[in-house]
Amino acid sequence: MAEVTEDLKAQVLEFFKQKNKMLTSRDVANALELDHRTAKKVLTELVNAGTLEFTSFGGATFIKLPEG
Protein backbone atom coordinates (compact mmCIF):
# COMPACT_ATOMS: atom_id res chain seq x y z
CA MET A 1 0.00 0.00 0.00
CA ALA A 2 1.36 3.38 -1.01
CA GLU A 3 1.88 6.09 1.56
CA VAL A 4 -0.69 8.87 1.76
CA THR A 5 1.17 12.09 0.95
CA GLU A 6 0.02 15.68 0.53
CA ASP A 7 0.86 15.36 -3.18
CA LEU A 8 -1.40 12.33 -3.50
CA LYS A 9 -4.20 14.17 -1.71
CA ALA A 10 -3.77 17.10 -4.11
CA GLN A 11 -3.97 14.74 -7.12
CA VAL A 12 -7.20 13.21 -5.82
CA LEU A 13 -8.71 16.62 -5.10
CA GLU A 14 -7.77 17.87 -8.58
CA PHE A 15 -9.36 14.76 -10.12
CA PHE A 16 -12.64 15.55 -8.32
CA LYS A 17 -12.51 19.16 -9.53
CA GLN A 18 -12.00 18.00 -13.14
CA LYS A 19 -14.83 15.46 -13.04
CA ASN A 20 -17.19 17.62 -10.97
CA LYS A 21 -19.48 14.68 -10.14
CA MET A 22 -19.99 11.95 -7.55
CA LEU A 23 -17.38 9.20 -7.78
CA THR A 24 -16.70 5.92 -6.01
CA SER A 25 -13.40 5.03 -4.38
CA ARG A 26 -12.91 2.49 -7.18
CA ASP A 27 -13.32 5.24 -9.81
CA VAL A 28 -10.53 7.19 -8.12
CA ALA A 29 -8.29 4.12 -7.74
CA ASN A 30 -8.66 3.17 -11.41
CA ALA A 31 -8.23 6.70 -12.76
CA LEU A 32 -5.11 7.45 -10.72
CA GLU A 33 -3.74 3.89 -10.92
CA LEU A 34 -3.79 3.41 -7.15
CA ASP A 35 -4.31 0.36 -4.99
CA HIS A 36 -7.98 0.36 -3.90
CA ARG A 37 -7.04 0.37 -0.20
CA THR A 38 -4.76 3.37 -0.72
CA ALA A 39 -7.51 5.25 -2.56
CA LYS A 40 -9.96 4.57 0.27
CA LYS A 41 -7.44 5.78 2.86
CA VAL A 42 -6.76 9.02 0.95
CA LEU A 43 -10.49 9.64 0.48
CA THR A 44 -11.21 9.00 4.16
CA GLU A 45 -8.53 11.49 5.19
CA LEU A 46 -9.93 14.11 2.79
CA VAL A 47 -13.47 13.53 4.09
CA ASN A 48 -12.31 13.79 7.71
CA ALA A 49 -10.61 17.09 6.83
CA GLY A 50 -13.86 18.37 5.29
CA THR A 51 -12.36 18.67 1.80
CA LEU A 52 -14.67 15.98 0.37
CA GLU A 53 -17.88 14.42 1.64
CA PHE A 54 -19.56 11.03 1.53
CA THR A 55 -23.06 10.69 0.13
CA SER A 56 -25.31 7.67 -0.33
CA PHE A 57 -27.39 7.28 -3.45
CA GLY A 58 -29.35 4.19 -4.39
CA GLY A 59 -27.63 2.04 -1.77
CA ALA A 60 -24.13 2.93 -2.97
CA THR A 61 -21.67 5.27 -1.28
CA PHE A 62 -20.17 8.01 -3.38
CA ILE A 63 -17.68 10.76 -2.66
CA LYS A 64 -18.12 14.32 -3.89
CA LEU A 65 -16.93 17.88 -3.42
CA PRO A 66 -18.90 19.72 -0.73
CA GLU A 67 -21.59 22.01 -2.12
CA GLY A 68 -21.44 25.70 -1.63
Nearest to 49, CA basis, from 16, 11, 19, 13: 13
Segment (H or E) for 6: helix 6-19
How buried is residue 53: exposed, middle or buried, by Cβ count under 10 Å (0-12/13-18/19+)?
middle
The CATH architecture assigned to 6-64 reads Orthogonal Bundle (1.10)
pLDDT digits (tens, 9 = 90+) for 8-19: 999 999 999 999
Extents of the domains making up the chain: 6-64
pLDDT digits (tens, 9 = 90+) for 4-62: 899 999 999 999 999 999 999 999 999 999 999 999 999 999 999 999 999 998 889 99
